[in-house]
Amino acid sequence: MPPQAGHPHLTSPAPHQNSPLARSSRHAHPSHRSLKVSARAEVHIPAGRATFTTPLTANLRFAVAIETARPADFPGATPADQLAAFRTAILAIPKPSRPADAPTTAVYTTRRGDRLRLTRSQDIATYPVTVNDAPVEYALFPRIENPWIYQPAGSKTLVLRSPDRRETLDLANWTRTTVIGPTDVTAPVFTKVPANFTVTPTHPQPVVTYNASALDAIDGPVSVTFYPPSGSVFTPGTTTVVTATAADSSLNTTTATFTVTVLPYPTPPAPAAPWTVQNIGAQPLTAGTARHDVANRVMLVTGTGGTSGTGASGDIWSGTSEGFTFVSRPWSGDGVFTARVWSFSATDTGAKAGLMFRETSATGAKNSVIYLTPGGSAIFQNKTSTSGGVTTSTTTGRVLHEWIRLVRAGNTFTGFYSDDGVTWAQQGAAVTHNLTGTALAVGLAVAPRTGGQTASAIFDHLTLHAPLDTWRLANFGTDQNTGPAADLADPDFDSAPNLLEYALGTLPTDPASVSLPSPQVSGLSPQPLFLQLTFLRARSDLTYTVEATSDLAAPSPWPAIATNPGTVGQSVTVTDTVDLPAANPPRRFLRLRVVAP
Which residues, in sequence order, are CB contacts of 191 under 8 Å at separation 6+? 213, 214, 215
Of 118, 153, 184, the position where a domain reaches its end is: 184
In a domain, 487, yes or no: yes
Which residues, in sequence order, are CB contacts of 311 under 8 Å at separation 6+? 451
450 and 525 part of one domain: no
533 and 455 part of one domain: no
179-238, pLDDT tens digit by residue? 344 456 788 999 999 999 999 999 999 999 999 999 988 788 999 999 999 999 999 999
In a domain, 399, yes or no: yes
305 and 436 part of one domain: yes
440 and 548 part of one domain: no
500 and 383 part of one domain: no
pLDDT of residue 345: 95
To the nearest whole percent, how much of the chain has pLDDT over 70?
68
Class of residue 422 by CB neighbours under 10 A (exposed 0-12, middle 13-18, buried 19+): exposed
CATH number for the domain spanning 448: value is 2.60.120.200
The dihedral through the CA atoms of 440, 445, 448, 449 has a sign that is positive
The dihedral through the CA atoms of 24, 166, 39, 122 has a sign that is negative
Confidence at 164, pLDDT banded by 50, 70, 90: very low
Whole-angstrom distance between the N-terminal and C-terminal Cα of the chain? 102
pLDDT of residue 420: 95
**Per-residue pLDDT at 590 exceeds 90:** yes
Mark out the alpha helices in 42-125 (DSSP H runs).
79-84
Cα separation of 131 and 155, whole Å? 10
Higher pLDDT residue, 596 or 19?
Answer: 596
Cα separation of 388 and 320, whole Å? 8
**Per-residue pLDDT at 12 exceeds 70:** no
Q: Are strands 412-418 and 431-432 parallel, antiparallel or unpaired?
A: antiparallel
488 and 526 part of one domain: no
Of 184, 201, 225, the position where a domain reaches its end is: 184
* Listed residue (575, 568, 561) closest to 531, CA to CA: 575
In a domain, 13, yes or no: no
Phi, psi of 20, rounded to the nearest 5 degrees: -55, -35
Cα separation of 380 and 417, whole Å? 10
**Per-residue pLDDT at 175 exceeds 70:** no
CATH number for the domain spanning 201: value is 2.60.40
pLDDT of residue 178: 39
Phi, psi of 195, rounded to the nearest 5 degrees: -80, 165
Residue 411 CA, chain-centre distance (Å), reads: 36
In a domain, 15, yes or no: no
273-302, pLDDT tens digit by residue? 999 999 999 888 889 999 999 999 999 999
Enclosing H/E stretch for 138: none
Average pLDDT over the chain, rounded to an integer: 75
Beta-bridged to residue 300, according to DSSP, are 291, 458
In a domain, 457, yes or no: yes
Confidence at 122, pLDDT banded by 50, 70, 90: very low
In eight-state DSSP terms, residue 140 is G
User: CA distances (Å), 269 to each of 272, 337, 339, 444, in order?
Assistant: 8, 22, 19, 17
339 and 453 part of one domain: yes
Domain span including residue 255: 189-262
Confidence at 78, pLDDT banded by 50, 70, 90: low
Confidence at 75, pLDDT banded by 50, 70, 90: low
How many CB atoms lie under 10 A from the CB of residue 239?
12
158 and 302 part of one domain: no
Amino acid in the structure at residue 477: G
Phi, psi of 405, rounded to the nearest 5 degrees: -145, 140
User: CA distances (Å), 474 to each of 72, 281, 294, 417, 515, in order?
Assistant: 87, 39, 22, 20, 20
**Per-residue pLDDT at 538 exceeds 90:** yes
Residue 525 CA, chain-centre distance (Å), reads: 71
579 and 530 part of one domain: yes
Phi, psi of 140, rounded to the nearest 5 degrees: -75, -15
**Per-residue pLDDT at 414 exceeds 70:** yes
* Listed residue (373, 376, 371, 381) closest to 351, CA to CA: 373
131 and 42 part of one domain: yes
**339-355 burial code (b ≥16 CB/10 A, e <16):** bbbbbbebebeebbbbb
pLDDT of residue 183: 52
Which residues, in sequence order, are CB contacts of 271 under 8 Å at separation 6+? 277, 290, 291, 292, 299, 327
In a domain, 332, yes or no: yes
Q: What is the 3-state secondary structure (H, E, C) of 491-560?
A: CCCCCCCHHHHHHHCCCCCCHHHCCCCEEEEECCCCCCCEEEEEEEECCCCCEEEEEEECCCCCCCCCCE
In a domain, 5, yes or no: no
pLDDT of residue 77: 55
Provide the number of structural domains found in the chain.
5
Of 143, 168, 184, the position where a domain reaches its end is: 184
The three-state secondary structure class of 581 is coil
Confidence at 154, pLDDT banded by 50, 70, 90: very low
Cα separation of 303 and 292, whole Å? 14
In a domain, 6, yes or no: no
Cα separation of 220 and 151, whole Å? 13
pLDDT of residue 333: 87
Which residues, in sequence order, are CB contacts of 238 under 8 Å at separation 6+? 261, 262
Enclosing H/E stretch for 33: none
Higher pLDDT residue, 543 or 57?
Answer: 543
pLDDT of residue 581: 84
Contact between residue 32 and residue 103 where contact means Cβ atoms under 8 Å apart: no
286 and 195 part of one domain: no
311 and 446 part of one domain: yes
* Listed residue (356, 349, 358) closest to 396, CA to CA: 349
